[in-house]
Structure formats: structure tokens, C-alpha cells
Structure 1
């Protein structure tokens, strides 16, 4: 198993991406500590993992709350004596009012909301994990960024800048902690129809373009080489590989899962 005996924290574990990553990590032998703002959603994922023979604990943690994040990481570290992987899969930004609107028509607050929220959360979770990983001499920080982080796209407001900033933050983390055994990697995907938020996003963009939602999705997928969106399972499987010792050569970079939408 790729992650046998490793300790992993997954933020946003009640969502489609975080839940898939949690299940995959557990399948690969990790002891997973799941967190999210809605405990019932996180607990359902933990119950599925335990029913499948894995080890999982669920916690209510707001990944935008500095004290909550610090207390949770301290508790996990005290319980297990180590922290090997931190995956932040939060989707805390409300999409209506921030996407599907020309930049010039956005308020300042609407534009900066995703930048502030995403970076705050990723800073808090990475900081809490990184120094503990550095002390033990190993660890992996993982985050997921959609394709507007690299690809110029209209009507995404502050989302594109926020995701691009996350990728820059990832490189900075690697530069500062890499020599102490801590790796930092982004997983860049396309929008995934399996997630709860993508229907809202696609609908907002379709309305702005005055086309059906299915037509907008088809247009985006037509730009990829595979003519389809990334799958949640693909993100989870790559996350498990990157978190494992087999991915030890990768840090300060982006794993490109856009299916050719972005060609590196």
C-alpha cells in the first residue's frame, strides 16, 4: 500500500474531492483525520472508510479559523506522534456574485473574497502542518487548483488570481521547507461535474453567455485532448501517489490533470 502507517489530515473532507481523497488515502493504508465545517458530512465519509476496513476520525474544523486549525493539528500530532500529509480541499467561496460577472462589474469585496478566503485557509493549514513536518524531517502538503490558475479565462472574477496565488504559495512552501524534507505540490484539474459546486459554476457562466448549461460544459470539454472533464477519482489517485514515497521527486510544482486543456 502506498501510504501504509502514514498520518493524513484532509480538510473539506465532506465534499466530493476531499471525500474521494480521504477514501483513497485510507484504502492505501493511511490513518486519516477528516475535517470540515459540517460534522455530519465528514462523519459519513469516516463511517464509509471504517466500514471498508480503514482507519478514520472525523472532526468539525473551520479551515478559516486559525485557532481551530492549530488545535486540530496539535491534537492529531499528539495522538499519532507525526503528520505525514496535509490535503486542503476546501471550497469555501460562494460562487454566485463572484463568477459569471465581468470583472469591471464586480464590487471590490466580491473580487477579493476568493483571494482572501482561499489564501487564508491554505496558509493556516500549511503553516500548522509544515513546521511539524519539518521537525520530523518529512511530509507532503497538497492542494487542488482548477485550470484558471494558469489559463486566462473570462468571468471568473477573483477566482483565477486566487488559484494562481495558491500555486505561487505552493512554490514558496517548497523553497522554504524542501531542504527539511517537506514537499509541496498542487494538483491542477479542470472543473469536475461530480462536485457539488460545478453545476452552480457552469450554470452561472452559461447564463452569462446565454447558452444552456450542458452546452457550456461541452464547450469546455471540447478544449481538452480527451474531450472530457477531469474526474474526482483521478485527483484522488494522483494525490495518493504524490503523498507517497514514490512521489518523492516532486515538489514546488503542479501535477497537470487537465487532460490537455493546458499543455505544459
Structure 2
């Protein structure tokens, strides 16, 4: 198994977090699943099974994040993997000039704050053990010209900010044997709520711009995350793994 003996913290118990937790457990990891809503966490634990422990943690609260990471490190003996997949609470499908500042900037603040806090909390323990992997969903879509006409709101700025953080972290932490990797998708159909505004437009954008017509699923993210967190990917850091099904061709 790819992750046997590894201890992983996953922030976010929604569709993606549950899929990642499932893949990690199948590959032998002990998973500590953290999120804001206990009912969601309990549901995720039941669906995943295996070595999963849950804790109510607000990933944007510094004290809660640090206390939880310290508790995991003490209980498990190490933090080998940290992955943040909480919702960015973004609004898409509305032209930028018609958006409120709050709607535009909220995903940037949420993503940067939570990924800063969770990454730093894990890294402080990883530095001591001279190893570890920090993963996040991210990746810019700006290299695909067809995406420029779409009304992304603040999510594009969010992705760019997360990628900038990934580059900085990978350089600063590499000397300690810590890898930092982003998983880049073209969007996840399953993660868009049925009642989300402009849902049909977003779905069409995600699906139509892939080369295969089959965008990544949450389970795909989980499987690739398990690989990226394993020693099989030990040479991969400071970069993104392209899971866009051809939406972004480098």
C-alpha cells in the first residue's frame, strides 16, 4: 500500500474530502478528518470506514488549527500529509463589475487564510521529522484562452494566490524534506450543489472544454492525491499535477 504507516490530516469533509480520505485509507493511511460541521464529519467517517478520526475544526481559525495539529502529532507520532480541500465559498457566473466586493474577495480570503494556517501548522511538525507532504487543490486556468470569456468572479485570483503560496512553501520547506504539490482540475461537477446559481453554465464550461468530455471526479482527485502523497512521487514538488483532462495543455 502506498501510504502504509502514514498519518494524514484532511481539512474538509465534503465530497472531495471524503473521496481523498477514502483513497488514503485504502492505501493504508491513518486519517484525521477535520471540518466545521460534526454531522458532516460523522457522515464522512461512516462512508469511508477504516482508520478515520474526526474533529470539529474551523480551518480559518488559527488557534483551532494549531491545537488540532498539535493533538494529532502527539497522538499519532507524526503528521506526514496535510491536505486542505475546504470550500472556497466562491460565486461564479456573474460579471465582475456586477459583483459585490464581499462576493469577489471572499474566496481569496478564505483560501489564503485557511491554506496558510493549515500548511504552517503541519509544516512546524514536518520540519522536526524532516519529511512530509502538503497538498492542495489549485492551479491557474489562465493559460486556456477559451476560459477568459467566462465569469469566474474571484476564484481565478484565488487559484493564482494559492499557486503563489505553493511556490513559496516548496522553496522554503524543501531543505527539510517537505514536498508541496497542487492538484489542478478543470472543475469538479460533483462538487457543485444542485441549487447553485448558474450551475448549468458552470457544468457546460467544465465538461465542454476538456479534450475527453470526461472531467476529473472527486475519486480521481483522491487517487492522484494518494499517489502525490506517497514515496512514489518523491521527486515531485514545487509544481502542480495537471488533472484537467486537456483543458490546460502546457
Indicate the TM-score class for this superposition, using the shorter chain for normalisation.
over 0.9
- Are the counterparts in 2 of residues 191 and 198 from structure 1 also a CA contact under 8 Å? no
Match of 1:166 in 2: 162
TM-score, normalised to structure 2, is 0.93
Q: What are the equivalent positions in structure 2 for 1:90-239 lying under 5 Å apart?
A: 90-93=86-89, 95=90, 98-145=91-138, 148=141, 151=144, 152-153=147-148, 154-195=150-191, 197=192, 199=194, 203-204=197-198, 213=200, 217-239=203-225
Distance 1:9 1:2, change over 3 A: same
Q: 2:228 aligns with which of 237, 242, 245?
A: 242
Check whether the contact 2:140–2:163 (CA below 8 A) recurs between aligned residues.
no
1:148 Cα deviation (Å)? 3.6
CA contact (8 A) 1:147 1:189 kept: no
Contact 1:149–1:167 (CA<8 Å) still a contact in 2? no
Shift of the alpha carbon at 1:92? 4.1
Change in Cα spacing, 1:218 to 1:48, as seen in structure 2 (3 Å) is: closer
Structure 2 runs not aligned, ≥5 long: none
Distance in 2 (CA, whole Å) between partners of 1:65 and 1:76 is 17
- Give the Cα–Cα distance (whole angstroms) in 1 for the partners of residues 195 and 15 of structure 2: 15
| 1:45 CA drift (Å) | 1.9
Per-residue deviation, 1:216? 5.6
> Structure 1 pair 81/219, CA: closer, same or farther in 2 (3 Å)?
closer
**Contact 1:192–1:198, Cα closer than 8 Å, also in 2:** no
Q: Distance in 2 between matches of 1:249 and 1:59?
A: 32
C-alpha change, 1:3 and 1:108, in structure 2 (3 Å) is same
Matched residue, 1:9 = 9
Matches within 5 A, 1:43-58: 43-50=42-49, 54-58=50-54
CA contact (8 A) 2:34 2:54 kept: yes
- Structure 1 gaps of 5+ residues are 207-212
Contact 2:190 2:217 in 1 (8 A): yes
Distance 1:219 1:38 in 2: 30
Aligned residue pair count: 247
Structure 2: distance between partners of 1:71 and 1:219 = 40
Q: Quote how far apart the aligned CAs of 1:28 are.
A: 0.5
1:2-44 CA-to-partner distances (Å, cap 9, x unmatched) read: 00010000000x2000000001101110010011111111122
Measure, in 1, the Cα distance between the counterparts of 2:110 and 2:154.
Answer: 11
The answer to whether the 8 Å contact 1:63/1:124 transfers is: yes
For residues 70 and 224 of structure 2, the distance between their equivalents in structure 1, rounded to whole angstroms, comes to 27
Q: State the alpha-carbon separation in 2 of the partners of residues 124 and 149 from structure 1.
A: 26
**Aligned residues of 1:147 and 1:258 also touching (Cα < 8 A):** no
